[in-house]
Amino acid sequence: MTIKEVEELLEVPRATVRFYEKEGLINPQREGNRYRDYSAEDVEQLKKIIIFRKAGLSVSDIADLFDGAKQIDAVLEENLENLNKQMEELKGSINLCKKIKEDSPEIDSFNSEVYWNYIEEEEKKGNAFIDIAIELAHEEKKIIAEKLGWSLDRDGNIYDLKQCVIGTVCAIVLIGTVFGLFSGNWGIGNLKEAVRFIIGMIIFESVFMIPIYFLGKKHPKIARKRNGYMLLAMCSFAVVLVLFVVFLNILGD
């Protein structure tokens, strides 16, 4: 069966099918012309994956189920807890929306103090609202993953811990070697400098990438070109920093 036939049969985009293949959840055979040939077993596996995804399971949890690393009862129990938590958060946010809508304020006369106090009172009662820190944490995780060569699944979870450890060690050794070549000194100190350098790069990139990420949520044009804006922001910062140093030197003279 071709990927087009699978796409039509299961009514999912081919990009989704290829993603699950990339994640190792299905392994279709390749014919002599190198085209993928999806068997009945592959289609059945895809159906299971789609069912579990629609139930809210993460890709990593599904992989663990297929590998036998986790039992279905335990995974579903944990997933139910997460879904119930999300429902509570949505309930609080829905009530907040209703309250604001009933008050019908204009944005110019919007009294944030009223709704801020409302949220605080509701949270004291145990009611939850959507956690706005999740997106920030997810973006920070992506930045760290890119710098250390980690592989994250679609849900932002570490997919292969062994590979992540190897990627981190390789990154530290590589940067430490560069420090050694430039300094002419070889020792454990180079590895410590490499760790400091990586941490510094992560912090430095986060300072620029996080604001650009949230701007991109509101302005799709920025989201599509965010790497370009990131480079522009870093270059602008570098220019300002150089000018600042030059200015200090002039004052010193």
Residue 46 is predicted with a pLDDT of 93
Residue type, 179: F
66-82 residue pLDDT tens: 988 889 999 999 999 98
Region 191-206 average pLDDT: 70
pLDDT of residue 139: 58
User: What pLDDT is recorded for position 228?
Assistant: 63
Q: DSSP string covering 5-22, please?
A: HHHHHHT--HHHHHHHHH
**CA angle in degrees (0–180, nearest 5) for 207-211-217:** 150
Query: Can you give the pLDDT at residue 43?
Result: 93
In the prediction, which pLDDT does 138 show?
A: 58
* Dist. CA 146–CA 164, nearest whole Å: 11
Measure the CA–CA gap between 129 and 156, rounded to whole angstroms.
21
Token code pair at residue 212: 């650009």
Span 103-107, mean pLDDT? 84
Q: Are 3 and 36 in contact (CB under 8 A)?
A: yes
For residue range 145-188, what is the model confidence (pLDDT) as tens digits?
Answer: 665 656 555 455 555 556 667 777 777 777 778 777 777 777 77
Q: What is the arithmetic mean of pLDDT over 234-238?
A: 64
DSSP state of 141: H
Residue 41's pLDDT band (cuts 50, 70, 90): very high
Q: Using an 8 Å Cβ cutoff, are 9 and 47 in contact?
A: no
Those residues whose C-beta lies under 8 Å from the C-beta of residue 152, and which sit 6 or more positions away, are 141, 142, 145, 158, 159
**Tokens linked to 113:** 């103090």
DSSP SS3 for 37? strand
Rounded to 5°, angle at Cα 249 from 247 and 250: 65
Per-residue DSSP letter, 25: S
Q: Are 140 and 119 in contact (CB under 8 A)?
A: no
- Given this model, what pLDDT does residue 160 score? 57
